[in-house]
Structure 1
Amino acid sequence: MATATGSWAGSGNRRMRLIVTYSLSSTDSKTTVDISSLKVEAVYGFSDSDNTLTRSGSLFDGGEGAVDIDVSSGGTQTLWSGSKTVDRGSSDQKLTMAWSLSGIDYVGATATVSATVTIPAVPAPDAPTSVGIARESISSVKLTWGGGDVHHIQARRRATAGDATSSWGSWGDVSTSTQSSGGVWSSAFDTGYDWQIRVRRRNSAGVYSSWTTSSNSARLYDAPSAPTSASVTRTNDASHKVAFAGATATSKPLRWVDVQIYGGVSQEWRDQATSLAASTRSYTSTTNIADNTGRWRIRFRNSAGSSAWVYTSTAYGTPKATSKPAAKRSGTSNVIVSWTNNARFAVGLDVRAASSTDGGTTWSSYAAITGHTGLSASTTSRTITGLDASRLWKFETRVYVTSPSTLSVYSGGGNVLQLLSAPSAPTLLTPLSTISDQDRTRFSWRHNPIDGSDQEAAEVRYRVDGAAWTTQQTGVSDYFDTLEPLAAGALEWQARTRGSHADYSPWSGVASLLVASPPAVTILDPVDGATLASNRLVLTIGWDDAQDAAMIRRTRRLRDEAGEILEEVTTSGATDTITFTTRLADGGSYTAEVEATSGTGLTSGVASIALTVDYIDPVAPILTAAWVEASGLAVLGVVNTPGDMGADPPTADTASNRIERSTDSGLTWATVVDGLEPDGGATDTMVPLNTRVTYRAVAVSAMGAETIGDSIDVTTTSHLLWIAGPGGDVAIEWNLGLQADHGQEVVLEQYYRRPKPTSHYGDGRPFSLQISAVLAEGHRDTFIPDHLLGDDVFCRDPEGHAFWAAVTSGPSLNSSTTREATVSMTLEAVDA
């Protein structure tokens, strides 16, 4: 129910207005508008019959007339009621209705009211249900739907034939007339595509339902036919052209091309290319099949499925060569040639040979050996007969494949083989130098075959001082041990060997050497078990050599009570005293060992003594040290305190002192002066310049016990060059120039096929120092070149070098003016 109220007409209490009340009711085809009342409302009541009520608008027909009105104050009176039925259309209708009341003198104005009503459209029918499309044949489809008749059928197809993934085209009409049920359709559906439909209904008012689209599609094509004429053409191991043929058909449209390869390490099919364009008829595979195989297969494909695969033949890549063959004689005339196969895929193998008639200077070309070609690629050895025994031979293999073309690879030649021949003279190995007459002798040699055969027998013969030869035979053994030591004297020996050939080699050259008694070394003092009253050990030794050969080398060794080595030093030359540097601990037990080598090359047994140590230390000395720059020397003094045997612990008197110098913060020490009397003094003229030097004094008791005093650091500041020669010290200070050479011997060798030479580094060259200076007036008289000649000199420069040297160039003294002279010389370091 709806109400429309007009505006008040009139003024003051003389006013009125119109009110209309209505409602709508509809059937499937019509709508009725029911005006339940048209009323007039008054502020003050009035009566009137001479008036005009007018009706207008698109809903009702127009009309006018007078109405009797008798309305109370604040009340209403119904003036008219009625209804109108309207046909519903395919769309909503907007209809109007309006009334006006005029001619009432009491009010003196016209009252109006109006309203617009909407006549709803006829409702759309329900959309079809369960719409489907299915392939009936290659050129027809069956359409189905539910929910009653349809009035409109449309279809659409894929944009590209055979491709169910391409976009859909536009909808097109299949039927625009009423269809009561589905059916088979063909004329509107082309072969080769995916199809989809949609349908809608229409009612008697011509109103359509919404479209209902099939949830599926119908495919009016089959999978394509397989390719034909598949082939493969080789370019190289990493490039093969795969070609094929094939055509498309409307009912079997070709959409894509797939290519796969079989081979590689996995030996399984794997994709090379998928979804190539339908026009593709060749493909270049870049998979490298060196030492492998490749086989390709191709198929056509569309959205309906794939064709069968079509296969190429198997293509082989270049195989790997075998190892270089090893040739070995078997028996007296056969040769066994063997190798290792490296190729994963090959179809055949040949054995080839080359020979030389001039000892290997020139060789024939390799050629296949009759009866040894076309072998299985898995062959690893062959026995070859009938070769010319006068030649040298070497062998190689050829492995090959034949598809899609013949490819060969050669191993290269193996070892050079000569058919059986006597070996060369053996090489003598031991003994080649003096041996002891106290030990059995082992003679050993190296077999030198010409034909490569191992030693099967040998003879060795020997004699001493020209006596008759003693001959011994061995089999495969390359040594022989005498049953007893050989007598002292001049030994000669030689050997010969035999391989697979029946003849022995020539006798080797004769090795001449000495069989001698080993030397003997003894410790004379102290005796075994002695107690040493000193912390330094000095041995007096005895030497005896039956051949009167001199001692050329000796080794000293000191062990602690547990047998651990504390000191082991080997020194060249002969001596009758051995001095250990290790400081012995008071109360300790030690073992001293000495062994020595004579000029015969034989080494003595080890002489040893055990001793204990019990000594009294002298009082630690007090050292003074001062650097005198003007003289280039350090002044040193020692203060000694008398010993006190009654003290605890007791101390001994100092018999002498030793002063030592270190230039590496006490890691190593050099003796400056030894045997210095108690409370004595000394100078150090060999101390390096401009260096931090550490000095220490060592007090030595009458029994040889030593006590080290506190060390002192001295900085040897100087701008002078000091040279101590046979004629005295020389100092140079004016415009001093120094050039040091710390070189190394270098030899450059140019080798064949090397673009640049190769360097070989030899021993370090001796350190040398080039000196130049200007001698100002007043200094010329102090420089006398003769003072530096005739013997080695000791040089100290401001750079800290301190070394014994030979004057290898100069000294030269050149006067340029009456006030100056220049001096130059070269010093090369030598052993002191």
Structure 2
Amino acid sequence: MAISWGPYQNHVRLGIDVIMSPSSVGTSTSSVTLTVRTYVQMDGSSSIYYNGLSLSFSGSWSGGTSVNVNLGPGQSALIHTATFTRATSSSSQGQTFNATLSHVFGSTSISRGFTIPARPAAPPPRPNAPSGLSAVRNSDSQITLTWSRNSTYTSVIVQRSTGNGTWTQVGRPSGNAFTFVDRTVKPNERYYYRVYGVNAGGTSPVSGTAGPVYTTPRIPSRITATRVAAGIRVNAEEGGRPPYAASYDIMDGSTLVASNVALPWTHANPSPTAHVYKVRARIGSLASGWSVASNVVEIAAPPKAPTNLSPNGQVVSKLAVLLLSWRHNPVDASEQTVRQLQWRKAGTSAWTVLTAVSTDSESATFVSSEATFGEGDIEWQVRTKGQHADYSPWSATATFTLTSPPNVSITSPVSPWDQARALARWDYSQDLGRPQSSWEAELYDGNDLLVARRSGTGATNSVTFPDMLTDDETYTVKVRAATGTLWSDWDTFTFTVSFVPPALPNISGEWSEDTGAVTLSVGAGDPVPGGPPVAETGTIDLLRSVDNGQVWESVLADSPDVNLIVDDPEALSNGQTMYRAIAYATVTGASAYADITVLAQSQALWLGGGEQFGLTARLPYSPKVKVDAGRERSVQRYEGRSRGVAYAGEQVTRVVDASGALIESDDANATVALLEELAQDPSPLHLYRDPDGRRIYGVLGSISLPRNGGNAAAIMWGWSFQLEETDR
């Protein structure tokens, strides 16, 4: 909480802060600890420097103690801390902390109220799970659920699944429900259900699962009828069967010829007439409508010429297994029983007819294609038989080129590679002189992860990957090329990146007692005559270290000005400060750095503030400095223990109290106006440096500037301030 201040009474006001631990009260919180802190503050016109003042208490605390108060105008301080343990209850408890301080101006009082929250009641127990869940289909749009209640519920969560592992809430009847009608169901589905009871104690465990419950299957589709040796095979092609159908009924024309059978189903010994079939799906007592009629199966007849020959127009590797394929086109719906192939070299007239093969496979495989066909452009045809004794006509002529795959050989990059991006270049060749028609190139990093992929068509034999490379990293380039649809093997090349660095930057620096800063001159370096090549410097970073290089702090980052003068008011005023200038190459980012150490031996105290601590005050004359360092600690007292228990917190403190004198007309020290400007600057952070080598960032209180005498030519001023250390 925050300090609650009372009004000023007799030049003094009191403040009380109450901190409760734990900060909130839960169902298991039996007691809380109250830490009560009392503060005092002077008004702007008075001071108290007195030990042993009387501080008395009343209300929720009692007694008194003596305190020391040494404060100037406007200053404040913590003067007393007390700790209490209070038991919690089901009702909130008000506390009143009254305090009175007796002092040289009279007395000052304050009253602070505080409320300990009520301890909340424990939640009711979790309800029991429903049991005996059942689900009954009423129609394709309604399923009724019932269950037994094993607790009193305020609502019931109803979930549904189709059996795919995902459950979706479909209802939440309110009250102590024991039934629910799901009106969101659809035909051609399978459903499972489960329920949870809900009341003030939470959600019950899940009930058992009810289901599966099916709705009417959809009408089958894509029905086919095919002549086979045993009769006519009736089937539904892929995607034509309802997902949960258990069996099927089949009609030939208007006659039911099969019930509750599986697909495919063969109509044995069909009559020597035309046949056309319809199918419906079943699951239990549910049946779909009848499908659209299948194709007509006629009496045996020769098939039509095969179509869809492949390959046709492609380039095929003579080193790979060759697969020729086609489509058999029956007139009577009978399967292929025989196939025969013929081929010839393009530009010749005579066909080589291959031996007919009895098979229903609409493809032919040649393991050694070069031994059968040779090399070059090949023309081929196929004819087939079904149940009829005659062949189909020969198919239309298809062509393909049988040859060796092309070869590629990477000629770029080389290793080491000194460019920012990788350039892939390759040589291409093919035995028959066929041109390159397409290409692919890939770049991988040292962990074999793909960095970039490029592809294209035509005779291009180089490509630059757009990604910037990293210095001293290893990469691999892979390239392959094709003529037509025939691809080469991948060629690979691994290379290491080694960028050319920029010249070592120039850096020099010197402490200035006039400015309280180190003045640094930083610039791009020059190549060494006769030395290795260097890259152009594009940017410069400047770093500082006050601990001999253990930790580096940024002074300047990514400066495009590569020749500059920099003042650093954060350097040690007494001690060694290291500086590092880092130059980065314009394109590749390769770097080079140079270090220097600057010694300062100032015997003055320095106080800085403002933007980048550009306001710096020099305080040289006999400064008095006191540094208080500590860590937050407390004592907790527990029932049954004779002594308190010590605790240490995470917060550490360091506070600097400094004071001294200055002569207004002496240029060697800061002016009163500069100190006033420092105190009133809106920047939250100030910097303290002293002859002992301390450099402390912190929050500055007011700067006190009493006039101590002197004359018009040499006015003597006193000064004092307090700075509490914070993070930078």
TM-score, normalization by structure 2: 0.34
Which of these two proteins has the greater Rg computed from alpha carbons?
1
